[in-house]
Amino acid sequence: MAEAVRQVIERDLYKDVRFNTASNVGERALWGAGVFRRELGVNDPLTHLEQYLETGEESINSIEEDLITDLAERMEKPHFINTVIFDRHDNDFVSRENKFSMRSMTNITENKFANNIADIRLYQRAKIEAKEVDRLNEWFDSAHVDDVFIAESMPLTENESYTIVRFHQKINEQVLAEHILALHNSTTDLFNELHTRIGADVPKSETVLELLDNMYAHRPARYQNFEEFLNRYIATYDEVLAERNPDKVFRFGLEGLEVPYLRDDIVLVRDQQTLRSIYTDSIKALGKSGGKVTADVLRVNNELKLRTDLTLGMTISSNAARKFLDSSLQYIAATLNRASEADLEVLAIGSRDNVVESASYYGSAARDEGIRYEGACPSGSSEAAAEEAAILAQSRRVNLSPECVFCPKCQKTVDADKEYFKKGWWHCPDCKSTAPRHGVRQQSLTKKNRPKNPTFFEVISAELTRYEQERKAKAAIKKQQAELKEAA
């Protein structure tokens, strides 16, 4: 989804058309999303809605491509190689697919984290990445075709679960290919050994930020094309990891038993066209709504059982639009993460009704368990992220926690306590220390505000609901399998 954001950022955000389209999703909806003057979140689903409002059906292919990458990043243990083609423009590189500027996006990311006081390392990483474009541009001039420039970005906080390696391959004098690789179980020492074995001239790194700052140019052996070099890089990484963990086999840094079939997640998501259409149908329904809840909006809401407070004819606020799109996205991600390989194969060729029913089951189960599937970036603007923290501080999230704060007493980043957040305070759930969020006077929590344990009836009711959802999902898949068998 980052590509969609970059595309939006590159346009003139103050054109009159922005103010004219705002009413299409309720008054100030796009303004609230950050499309006008507020900061645009990297994974805010309203960026896709903004694209659809501006160019209609022409935007769907671009949204689809962005969605595939976004969903691959939301897998619990993502493994993929994603390729983006760039054309050189002066001292910048511009995405051929979505026309976003690499330089502008890294600068915006740096400015975004300049005000982040929760973890200064995030700003330090953004500053290094902002310099990456200059280094890449300087390297490109003297590089040979198929030379590569590599940046290795390990997890920086406890909420980040995997390493991203960016391979920039020179295709010709005007074209650059960026190959993005996800790796697991990284350490700086592992990368130091990897560099030695592939013959890369790189200083040894002691810290994660030092490793990133030591981004380097490399010329593969003459007998190797890029694909062969990439395969050797991955194989060497897994080899070093296996040597340090005897009797274990690794692929992409994942233990073999963790992902037995180890399919590229980009391929996995691309195969699920009907499942992805749930999200694009949601965008189309909102885009054609005129800012009011229509029968189409309610149809999507009711099919998935999203439990949103929507009634026919009501005005759709920015928060309602974001929640609607985010929920459909979460239901798709939950299905991809929770369904078995066999079930996903059936869903890939299944009817829309069965796919929607399965998404409703898996999405509802994840929501009831308090689990969200996120990639490397928040799914909203900075203001939305803070609001999300208030809602989800008590929930467990996969890959990314909500807005968090740096606790000086614990000396680590922690999730914000929901109840204190509502009252204007950041509260560490570990050591119980508290600090003002907006300088307001502390108001102690009352008993009625404290989270309560569910009653026996609520536990039984939730279990019956889960059982019924599971029964329906299995019945839908069994029906689909029977139809396929009969058709064969």
pLDDT in tens, 326-371: 999 999 999 998 888 888 888 888 889 999 999 999 999 888 888 8
Residue 97 confidence (pLDDT): 76
Asked whether the predicted pLDDT for residue 389 surpasses 90, the reply is no
Residue 22 confidence (pLDDT): 40
Residue 236 confidence (pLDDT): 95
- Helix (H/G/I), strand (E/B), else coil: 34: coil
Q: Give per-residue pLDDT as tens, 407-447.
A: 656 655 556 566 665 555 566 766 666 665 443 333 333 33
199 Ramachandran zone, left/alpha/beta (phi>0; psi -120 to 50): left
Q: Which two tokens stand for residue 319?
A: 């928060």
- Helix (H/G/I), strand (E/B), else coil: 164: strand
Q: Give per-residue pLDDT as tens, 43-83.
A: 567 878 888 888 888 888 888 888 888 898 888 888 788 88
| Over residues 82-108, mean pLDDT | 85
Residue 220 confidence (pLDDT): 85
Asked whether the predicted pLDDT for residue 86 surpasses 80, the reply is yes
Residue 462 confidence (pLDDT): 62
HSE on the CB side for 27, CA within 13 Å?
2
Residue with tokens 């005000």: 115
Q: Give per-residue pLDDT as tens, 109-144.
A: 777 666 655 667 888 888 888 889 999 999 999 999
- Helix (H/G/I), strand (E/B), else coil: 8: helix
Residue 176 confidence (pLDDT): 95
Residue 465 confidence (pLDDT): 64
Residue 443 confidence (pLDDT): 34
Q: Which two tokens stand for residue 430?
A: 């570990």
Report in angstroms the alpha-carbon separations of 166 from 82, 83, 86, 209.
Answer: 10, 10, 13, 15
Please give, one letter per residue, the 3-state secondary structure of 101-138. EHHHHHHHHHHHHHCCCCCHHHHHHHHHHHHHHHHHHH
Residue 195 confidence (pLDDT): 96
CB contact burial 98-134 (16+ within 10 A = b; e otherwise)? bebbbbebbbbbbebbeeeebbebbbbbbbbbbebbe
How does residue 20 score in pLDDT terms, banded at 50, 70 and 90? very low
Q: Which two tokens stand for residue 343?
A: 């079930």
Residue 484 confidence (pLDDT): 64
Cβ atoms of residues 438 and 307 within 8 Å = no
Report the percentage of the chain scoring pLDDT > 70: 64
Instruction: Work out the mean pLDDT of the chain and round it to a whole number.
Output: 75
Residue 163 confidence (pLDDT): 92
Q: Give per-residue pLDDT as tens, 457-472.
A: 665 666 666 666 666 6
Look at 476 and 413; give whichever has higher pLDDT. 476
Q: pTM of the predicted model, to two decimals? A: 0.62
